[in-house]
Amino acid sequence: MSVQTPVELATIPPQIDSVPSTPFDADSFNQAVMSTYSRYPLALERGAGCRVWDTQGREYLDFVAGIATCTLGHAHPAMVEAVTRQIQKLHHVSNLYYIPEQGELAKWLIQHSCGDRAFFCNSGAEANEAAIKLARKYAHTVLEIQHPIILTAHASFHGRTLATVTATAQPKYQKYFDPLVPGFHYINYNDIRAVEAAVSELDEGNYRVAAILIEPLQGEGGVRPGDVAYFQRLREICDETGILLIFDEVQVGMGRSGKLWGYEHLGVEPDIFTSAKGLGGGIPIGAMISKKFCDVFQPGEHASTFGGNPFVCGVALSICQTLEKEHILQNVEARGEQLRQGLNAIALKYPHHIAEVRGWGLINGMELTADTQLTAPEVVKAAIDEGLLLVPAGPKVVRFVPPLIVTEAEVKTALQAVEKALATVTT
Ligand SMILES: *Cc1c(COP(=O)(O)O)cnc(C)c1O
C-alpha cells in the first residue's frame, strides 16, 4: 500500500544540541524524589522525532513514547510551533470564562468521533473519574438506582486515584490502599457470560448495574485486543437494559490503533469514552466525551482548575490537526503491519520463548511463553543495551508503542535491536 511520505524528523535546534551533557547523579535524585517508580539507570535529556538522548549523549530509539503518549514524537515542528504560539498568546485562564481553544478542540473531537460533547481535565485517571461521576449521577437521577454498580474487567487499567484504582481490577495496584471505593464489580475480559451473569445477579434491592467501564484493547493488562462479538453483545446488553457503556480510550485512542478510536475496530460505539495519553502528545490533558447524556452535569457539579486551559487545548488541537494533515493514521497502519510481521518472524526463531505477537496499529505486545523463565522486564533491559526503549505490559508482555510518526527505517532498526536483545537474554 502506498503511504504518504513519512513526517520529516524534527531538526534539533543547535543551541540545544550544543549544550554539554550534564553529569547526572541518581543518588541525589533518589534522595529528593519519592520512590514511586523503579527506574532504569538512564536519564533522558533531549529528543527529536523517535529518538532520545541520555545525559551521557547516548542515543536511543524511543518505542515507549512516554507510554503511548508522544503522538508526534519529540520536538515535532507542529508541536513546537503550537506550544510557542500559545504560551505567548494566553496559557491559562479559568473556566469562569469561555476559552476559544477549548471549544475548537471539543469541536474537533466530536466531529471525529461518535461523541456529542466534551469535558476536559488533565489525565487519564481524571477523565475516567469524570465518567464514573457522570455514570453515577445518571444512575441516581435517570435510572433511579440508589446503589449503582459499575462493572470493570480483570487485568484492566483505569488510573491511580482511589475510584480509578478501584476500577482497575488488578490487586497489585490496590494493595494497602483499602478501604477502596464501593460500587465496583469485576468481570473477566472478553467473556460475555460473565457480563450477563453479573447484570442479572447484581440486581437486588437498591443495587443494580449502572455502567460498564472497559478498554477496547487492554493496554497495561498485556495488550489484549477486545473481541468483536463480545463488544457487540455488550452493546446489545447495554441497549436492552439502559446500562451505560463507557470505553477507556486513554491508551488505545487518538490514532494509536491505526483508527482514531479503538472502538472503530469493534463495530460498536460507546455512550461515553475517555481520552488522555496521546491527546496532548505529551502535554497533560484528559477528556471525557459523551454521546447523549450530555446534560447530566449541571454547572458547579464537576470541575478542574487546569482542565481545558488555552495552552493544553491549543497544543492538543495542533496534534489532532497534524494527525489529519499528515495522514498519520496511514503510517500507523503500515508501520504496525511491518512491526508485527517482523516480530512474528523473530517469534518463529524463538518458539520456546515467544508465545504470541498481537496488537492494533502501533500498540503491540510480544507475549513470552509460560514455559520460559524469561520476563518482559529482562527483555526490556536487554533492549535498552541495544539502544531501544521498550516497556513491559505486565510480567510477560513486552510492549511496543512508538510515536505514530515512526519511519520504516526506524521500525527496521528496532526489530534488529529486539533480535539482538533476545539473543543475549536467551543464551
Ligand atoms: C494510562 C492509562 C490511564 C491513566 O492515565 P493517567 O494519565 O496516568 O492518569 C487510564 N486508562 C488507561 C487505559 C491507561 O492506559
> Which residues are registered as beta bridge partners of 357?
366
Domain count, the chain: 2
Last residue of a domain, one of 325, 354, 384: 325
Ligand 1, residue 249: give the atom nearest the CA. 13
Q: Which residue's CA lies nearest to atom 5 of ligand 1?
A: 124
Mark out the alpha helices in 216-307 (DSSP H runs).
228-241
Asked if residue 74 is part of any domain, the answer here is: no
**DSSP, res 188:** -
Nearest CA to ligand 1 atom 15: 251
Separation of alpha carbons 235 and 232, rounded Å: 5
CATH number at residue 110: 3.40.640.10
Distance CA 195, CA 389 (A): 37
Q: Which atom of ligand 1 is nearest to the CA of 276?
A: 7
pLDDT tens, N- to C-terminus, the chain (427 residues): 444 444 444 444 444 554 556 689 999 999 999 999 999 999 999 999 999 999 999 999 999 999 999 999 999 999 999 999 999 999 999 999 999 999 999 999 999 999 999 999 999 999 999 999 999 999 999 999 999 999 999 999 999 999 999 999 999 999 999 999 999 999 999 999 999 999 999 999 999 999 999 999 999 999 999 999 999 999 999 999 999 999 999 999 999 999 999 999 999 999 999 999 999 999 999 999 999 888 899 999 999 999 999 999 999 999 999 999 999 999 999 999 999 999 999 999 999 999 999 999 999 999 999 999 999 999 999 999 999 999 999 999 999 999 999 999 999 999 999 999 999 999 8
Residue closest to 122 by CA, chosen among 253, 323, 293, 275: 275
**Ligand 1 atom with the shortest distance to the CA of 252:** 13
Q: 212 to each of 144, 153, 155, how far by Cα in Å?
A: 17, 9, 15
- Indicate whether 292 and 168 sit together in one domain: yes
CA of 158 to the centre of ligand 1 (A): 5
150 lines ligand 1 (CB under 6 A): no
Do residues 172 and 133 share a domain?
Answer: yes
Residue 75 lies in a domain: no
348 and 250 together in one domain: no
Structural domain ending residue among the three candidates 325, 342, 369: 325
Q: Are 403 and 60 in contact (CB under 8 A)?
A: no
Q: Of 158, 170, 249, which is best to mutate to test ligand 1, by the most ligand atoms within 8 angstroms of its C-beta?
A: 158
Ligand 1 centre from 185 Cα, in Å? 19
319 and 341 together in one domain: no
Ligand 1 centroid, distance to 400 Cα (angstroms)? 16
Least Cα distance to 270 among 247, 302, 251 occurs for: 247
Ligand 1 center to residue 215 CA distance, Å?
11
Are 310 and 336 within one domain? no
289 and 419 inside one domain: no
CA separation for the pair 106, 130 (Å, rounded):
16
Atom of ligand 1 nearest to the CA of 164: 10
Query: What is the model's pLDDT at position 298?
Result: 94
Tell whether 381 and 240 lie within a shared domain: no
Whether 342 is covered by a domain: the verdict is: yes
Would you say 284 and 60 are in contact if contact means Cβ atoms under 8 Å apart? Answer: no
Same domain for 103 and 225, yes or no, is yes
Residue with the three cell numbers 487485568 = 155
DSSP letter (8 states) at residue 278:
G
Q: Which residues pair with 149 in a beta bridge?
A: 209
Asked if residue 162 is part of any domain, the answer here is yes
How far does the centroid of ligand 1 lie from the alpha carbon of residue 164, in Å?
Answer: 9
Residues 162 and 249 in one domain: yes
**Quick check: is 110 in a domain?**
yes
Which residues neighbour 237 within 8 Å (Cβ) at sequence distance 6 or greater?
Answer: 195, 196, 199, 243
Q: What distance, in Å, lies between the first and last C-alpha atoms of the chain? A: 38
Residue 238 lies inside a defined structural domain of this protein: yes
Residue 321 lies in a domain: yes
The DSSP bridge partners found for residue 53 are: 46, 59
* Cis bond upstream, residue 179 (ω within 30): yes
Domain end call among 304, 325, 346: 325
**Phi, psi dihedral angles at 277 (to 5 degrees):** -20, -75
pLDDT for position 395: 97
For a substitution probing ligand 1, which of 173, 277, 360, 397 has the most ligand atoms within 8 Å of its CB?
277
Distances (CA, A) of 62 to 53, 272, 343, 350, 414: 10, 32, 17, 24, 9
| Residue 219 beta carbon below 6 angstroms from any ligand 1 atom | yes
23 φ, ψ (degrees, to nearest 5): -65, 135
Q: Tell me, yes or no, whether 94 and 175 share the same domain.
A: yes
Whether 124 lines ligand 1, by a CB cut-off of 6 Å, is yes
Q: Is residue 410 part of a domain?
A: yes
Domain of 403? 6-69+327-425
What is the Rg, in whole angstroms, of the alpha carbon atoms belonging to the chain? 22
17 with 146, same domain: the answer is no
Residue nearest to atom 6 of ligand 1 (CA): 124
34 with 124, same domain?
A: no
CATH, residue 359 = 3.90.1150.10
Ligand 1 pocket residue status of 54, Cβ below 6 Å: no
263: Cα within 13 Å, side-chain hemisphere: 23
